[in-house]
Amino acid sequence: MNEELRNKLEYAHRILHMEGLAEDASRGHITARSEDGRVYIKPWGVGFEDVTAQEFQGLDLDMNLLEGEGRVHSELHLHVEIYRRRPEVHSIAHVHPFYSILLSSVFKGKIHVLSQHGVHFAGKIPFHQSAELVTSKKLGEKLARILGDRPVVVMKNHGITVVGKSIEEAVILSMHFEKAAKDHLLATTFGKPSGIPVAMAKKLSVNNYNPAQVKMMWDYYCKKFDRKES
């Protein structure tokens, strides 16, 4: 079922791996919610660079396994509790990117928006202040509450969780947040950085993530991956 979503979800894992957001064995997971309300996730122990479209497990929001097999990631709670509260969200990426994690260790609730990569993250950013894995319904609920209606939550000494209206958006926002975190951290070692004001950032964000732009960026990364493999 949901073949198109499965294919797209495979590309999502390949792209985040190619771009260095899931480089080693502590990899995280990307999920997608289908039109018929199922959540798809890769089985535990399968890498971002290995998982294939047909392997994704399909579950309902109560984590009953309806499609696929294998051990289920214990952090699936993180995903279902967000899907429950955010009907417009159709994809969630939970990853442990290098600069995002360093940011989380010195985080004060905001980043300097220093380039186009940060415009979607202007203003206050939710912060989950524990490194504990999100392996229970209760912890999933807590994370979902902290996230609220925002696109990303920074998880202290752990990583990030990024949500999108589509797989494409969740993947692109994940990459952009990691780039924005790197910009922010390095710039602070170079001086007192001056960023894009919140009002202009919001205006640029509307333009940068309109459907045509998101499709253009997604196609770019799919093509880059295909070229690398050939």
- As a whole number of Å, the CA-based R_g of the chain is 17
Between residues 164 and 195, which has the closer beta carbon with respect to a copy of itself? 195
Q: How far apart are alpha carbons 125 and 146 in whole angstroms? A: 10
| 101 neighbors 164 (Cβ within 8 angstroms) | no
Kindly state the smallest distance separating residue 89's Cβ from a copy of itself, in Å.
Answer: 23
Shortest Å distance, C-beta 121 to a copy of itself: 13
Which amino acid makes up residue 129?
A: Q
Q: What span, in angstroms and rounded, lies between the C-alpha atoms of 72 and 229?
A: 29
Residue 48, C-beta contacts closer than 8 angstroms, at least 6 positions apart: 13, 14, 16, 17, 22, 27, 42
Provide the binding-site residues for a copy of itself, judged by CB under 8 A: 24-26, 45, 47, 49-50, 96, 101-103, 105-106, 112-117, 131-133, 156-158, 175, 179, 183, 185-196, 200, 204, 207, 216-217, 220-221, 223-224, 227
At 34, list the tokens: 């289908």
The CB-of-38 to a copy of itself minimum distance in angstroms stands at 26
| Residue 17 Cβ vs a copy of itself, minimum distance, rounded to whole Å | 11
Nearest approach in angstroms of CB 223 to a copy of itself is 7
The Cα–Cα gap between 11 and 82 comes to 22
Contact 181, 113 (CB under 8 A): no
Query: Which is nearer to a copy of itself, 77 or 158 (by Cβ)?
Result: 158
Do strands 127-128 and 152-155 pair parallel, antiparallel, or not at all (unpaired)?
parallel
Q: Which of 127, 123, 185, 182 is nearest to 159 (CA)?
A: 127
**Do 81 and 137 form a contact (C-beta atoms < 8 A)?**
yes
The CB-of-21 to a copy of itself minimum distance in angstroms stands at: 13
Q: Which is nearer to a copy of itself, 83 or 111 (CB)?
A: 111
Query: 98-105 and 167-190 helices cross at what angle (nearest 10)?
Result: 60
Looking at the Cβ atoms of 86 and 139, the one nearer to a copy of itself is 139
Nearer to a copy of itself, 89 or 119 (CB): 119
Between 49 and 60, CB nearer to a copy of itself: 49
